[in-house]
Amino acid sequence: MWTLGLPIPELILRAAVVYVVFFGALRLFGKREIGQFTLFDLALVLLAANALQPAITGSDASITGGLIVVLTLFVLNRGVSLLRVRSPFVRRLLEFGPTVVGRDGAWLLPELVRQGLDLVDVEAALREHGLDDVRQMKQATLEADGSISIVAMDDASSGKAVRRRRRYRRPI
């Protein structure tokens, strides 16, 4: 129960490699927060985590090995968090920037497709901002956190968006 099945450095290296690969996959996944995951997204993450577990622990099934892996993952996560705050380069590497998806009363269809949004998503964002028609929109932006902010034509002079809509990308 307490005896390690693998050397400590190997457990740490396995956890670090899987963390980097999994983090990279989530980074490529798109502009979303955990609270914005669809049921399909959540299932994907849980299944991927379950599939990666043997890659992290190998033949080690000890409590000690599990604790070393968990500690490694938390230390790595804290390190990435600190680097993101202190380094503009790391921040640019890890975070998405805002993306304009609509301008001057029209949707930018190629950008909607590239971002995994459909007209149902953006039309709902319009309604949540109190707009009835896309022609009332000055600009729509998919924010770094996955929300959609919209500036109405009559709000264009103030430059402020009324509300933001969470993004829910439809499964393919």
* Same-domain check for residues 80 and 106: no
* Same-domain check for residues 149 and 129: yes
Any domain includes 170: no
pLDDT tens, per residue, the chain with 172 residues = 888 888 999 999 999 999 998 888 877 766 654 545 677 777 888 888 888 888 888 888 888 998 999 999 999 999 998 998 999 998 888 877 888 999 999 999 999 888 888 888 789 889 988 899 999 999 999 887 778 899 998 754 444 444 444 554 444 4
Domain boundary (94, 113, 145) is at 94
**Cα–Cα distance list, 85 to 5, 25, 26, 89, 109 (Å):** 37, 21, 19, 10, 34
Q: Residue 152 gets which letter from DSSP? A: E
Number of folded domains in the chain?
A: 2
Any domain includes 81: yes
Q: Which domain holds residue 27?
A: 8-94
* Same-domain check for residues 12 and 88: yes
Any domain includes 25: yes
Shortest CA distance to 97 belongs to which of 146, 139, 41? 146
Backbone angles phi, psi at 107, to 5 degrees: -80, 145
* Same-domain check for residues 145 and 120: yes
* Same-domain check for residues 88 and 105: no
- The pTM score is 0.63
Q: Are 99 and 115 in contact (CB under 8 A)?
A: yes
Any domain includes 3: no
Q: Residue 143: give its domain's CATH number.
A: 3.30.240.20
Percent helix, strand, coil in the chain, to 5, is 55, 10, 30
* Same-domain check for residues 12 and 90: yes
Distance, in Å, from the CA atom of 151 to the CA atom of 129, rounded to the nearest integer, reads: 8
Domain boundary (94, 109, 143) is at 94
